[in-house]
Amino acid sequence: MNKDKELERLLAEMREEPISQLKNKKNSVKTSTAASSDNSRIRDQLWEQSITSTAGDGVLWNKEFKVGGKVDQFLKESSQLSRLSQNPDDRRSLLKDVQRLAVEEAIRWREMSKLAGEFRLMGGDKLGAKWTRQFEKWLYSRRAACPTCPAGIFPLGKENEKDEELKRKLEAAGISSKQAEKICETIGKGARKAAATVGRTLVGKGGKVKVKRVDMQEGERTRTKYVLRCSGVTMEVNFDHYVKLQELMKHSGFVKHSDMTESFISCAIFSLLARYSSFQGGHYKAGGFQAAIHGSCFDTLMVEFGCWLECFASPMNCRYSRFCSAHFDTDYIFGSIGSFFQFFPREGSFEANPPFDDGTILKMIDHMEDIFSKSSLPLSFIIIIPYLPDQNGWRRVYSSEYKRAHLKVKQAEHGYFEGSQHDRINRYRIAPFDTSVIFLQNEAGSEKWPATKEKLLKLRNAFKPKLELNPHGLNFVAPDHSDNEEDEAGREQLEESGDENEENEKRVKSDVKHNEVSTKRQKR
């Protein structure tokens, strides 16, 4: 079966299968008839029964995984989905808005691209090929300091006209201190202007999205992509991800089969792609501030720690049909339960692989500790961040009172999926840094999902890079090692991690003591 026929078959299935059948396919969860005083035990059973299957590394997402009906309801009640109106008229209005949203996202993307271009012309290009990375980093850091940004895209507020880290980077590239300050001020004002432009733009009925399939020859490989165009703005997505997004829409249960027309699907996917491109800076090279773990890592987290819900995912890189993501309005159609910062679970085991931005990580740990403080039911967060002991975000996570274990994975011995894998030819990459896997758990969570040495060893092995890059840019499978060699190397690394943990504990305690002394002196 060729790819066009496969796509037509999927579309036909999506249009023909009643939404009631989709709901009936979800796993029914048997609940106990115990009294309400035993509700905690019942909830634990429900979370356990969500675990149904693993899928390995060869698939984009685990479509066989079924979220139990009771657990799904629990997630909806704890997230932004609780605000989604159940009124049929409101639902129809939301679906109509998809066409209008496509045009709005095209406008938003153009404004972000202009802002990026202004940054480059004013001196950003002196940063060389890394100018897109620095612009994206500026966006993340300023947004973390600005919780009121519309759609989380453009940083607002006068304080965003200053950014000491960007200023230092520009000065290091040979730009004068005065000019560096001017650049920071200009893009800060430009962000507010861009947000105002998008806000003033009135979109009528919306526009059409044109979709075209393109076969591209890249080296020795042929890649099939879909090109989506709306209001003069073009987005691209790999064939497999295009199909995945349609399947997620089908699995989500939020859209009736009669609404899943080709026009609706193309508008929803265009809006999604444009939003994330704008979020990352509106440039095709952007997207390096987040990467996804391998499928085998997800499988290990699920089997060993009951962990399957991602706190920082997107419809393009999610592993399962339910996940948290940054943009509820574009993402919920594909199964998102909304922003992690609007998610307040009372129990469960969660994976958190946030954008590699210090401000975002600090905001994340504050929210997690707030969640811990309000529940005694089993709670666990498995946090995956770069091993950067000198960064405030890493130190806050590492020094949390809820930390139960820390696994350090060496740079050359693990890999990730590209953050923008949906439009890249190579999904895999070797990690550019050492990685910390930090387990935060309350007492009940630690008893339910203990981070034992055996489990940490399995997780470390799951992180191993599945593919490597040869000098010609072609992927090949990494050489195999015997299980004995892997286990021995893993045990050695766990011992090294234990030694480093002791050193880190001493350093963190020393810093805390130093800060307390400084605070006392200031009070005097």
Tens-digit pLDDT profile for residues 232-265? 999 999 898 999 999 999 988 888 888 889 999 9
Position 217 scores a pLDDT of 75
**Percent of the residues in the chain that have a pLDDT greater than 70, as a whole number:** 70
Position 13 scores a pLDDT of 43
The string of pLDDT tens digits covering residues 172-182 is 999 999 999 99
- Residue 249 host element (H or E): helix 239-252
Structure confidence at residue 52 as a pLDDT band (50, 70, 90): low
Distance between CA atoms of residues 184 and 170, nearest Å: 10
Q: Within 10 Å of residue 11's Cβ, how many Cβ atoms? A: 17
**CA 381-384-385 angle, 5° bins:** 130
**CA 430-433-439 angle, 5° bins:** 105
**Percent of the residues in the chain that have a pLDDT greater than 90, as a whole number:** 46
Per-residue pLDDT at 268 exceeds 90: yes
Q: Where are the alpha helices (DSSP H) in 253-350?
A: 262-279, 295-305, 328-331
Contacts for 221 with CB less than 8 Å, ≥ 6 apart: 425, 474
Q: Is 357 left (phi over 0), alpha (psi -120 to 50) or beta?
A: beta
Of the two residues 57 and 43, the one the predictor is more confident about is: 57
Distance between CA atoms of residues 407 and 385, nearest Å: 11
* Mean pLDDT lowest among 205-219, 318-332, 510-524: 510-524
What SS3 state is found at 226?
strand
Position 7 scores a pLDDT of 46
- Per DSSP, 378 falls in state -
Q: Within 10 Å of residue 519's Cβ, how many Cβ atoms? A: 9
Position 99 scores a pLDDT of 84
Distance between CA atoms of residues 64 and 55, nearest Å: 8
Map out the domains of the chain with their CATH numbers.
93-200 (no CATH), 288-522 (3.40.50)
Position 247 scores a pLDDT of 94
Highest-confidence segment of 119-123, 344-348, 474-478: 344-348
Distance of CA 25 to the CA centre of its chain: 27
Structure confidence at residue 21 as a pLDDT band (50, 70, 90): very low
Distance between CA atoms of residues 164 and 173, nearest Å: 14
Per-residue pLDDT at 426 exceeds 90: no
Highest-confidence segment of 47-61, 278-292, 409-423, 464-478: 278-292
φ, ψ (nearest 5 deg) of residue 294: -65, 160
* Mean pLDDT lowest among 22-26, 65-69, 406-410, 453-457: 22-26
Of the two residues 517 and 310, the one the predictor is more confident about is: 310
Terminal Cα distance for the chain, rounded: 78
Position 447 scores a pLDDT of 97
Q: If you search the block for the tokens 């939404």, which residue do you land on?
A: 19
Structure confidence at residue 202 as a pLDDT band (50, 70, 90): low
Distance between CA atoms of residues 402 and 265, nearest Å: 43
Closest among 135, 104, 463, 501 to 275, alpha carbons compared: 104
Give the per-residue SS3 of 311-327: CCECCCCCCCCCECECC
Residues shown for the chain: 524
E-state strands within 126-209: none
Q: Within 10 Å of residue 386's Cβ, how many Cβ atoms? A: 17
Q: If you search the block for the tokens 């766990």, which residue do you land on?
A: 494
Of the two residues 485 and 27, the one the predictor is more confident about is: 485
304-325 exposure pattern, b = at least 16 Cβ within 10 A, e = fewer: bbbbbbbbbbbbbbbbbbbbbb
Of the two residues 405 and 284, the one the predictor is more confident about is: 405
Distance between CA atoms of residues 314 and 73, nearest Å: 21
Of the two residues 77 and 222, the one the predictor is more confident about is: 77
The string of pLDDT tens digits covering residues 472-507 is 333 333 333 344 444 555 555 555 656 566 666 666
What SS3 state is found at 159?
helix
Of the two residues 152 and 413, the one the predictor is more confident about is: 413
* Mean pLDDT lowest among 2-6, 135-139, 319-323: 2-6
Summarize the confidence of residues 20-45 as an average pLDDT. Answer: 37
Per-residue pLDDT at 17 exceeds 50: no
Tokens of 386: 């770069």
Distance between CA atoms of residues 453 and 22, nearest Å: 40
Structure confidence at residue 433 as a pLDDT band (50, 70, 90): confident
Summarize the confidence of residues 221-234 as an average pLDDT. Answer: 90
CA-derived radius of gyration, the chain? 24
Of the two residues 155 and 414, the one the predictor is more confident about is: 155
Position 505 scores a pLDDT of 62
- Residue 3 host element (H or E): helix 3-16
Tokens of 524: 């005097």
Position 197 scores a pLDDT of 92
Q: Within 10 Å of residue 191's Cβ, how many Cβ atoms? A: 26
Distance between CA atoms of residues 347 and 340, nearest Å: 14
Highest-confidence segment of 243-257, 339-353, 402-416: 339-353
- Per DSSP, 348 falls in state E
The string of pLDDT tens digits covering residues 56-106 is 766 778 888 888 888 888 898 999 988 876 666 666 666 678 888 999 999
Per-residue pLDDT at 434 exceeds 70: yes
Task: Give how far Cα 208 sits from Cα of 158, 200, 205, 213, 271, Å.
Answer: 37, 21, 10, 16, 11
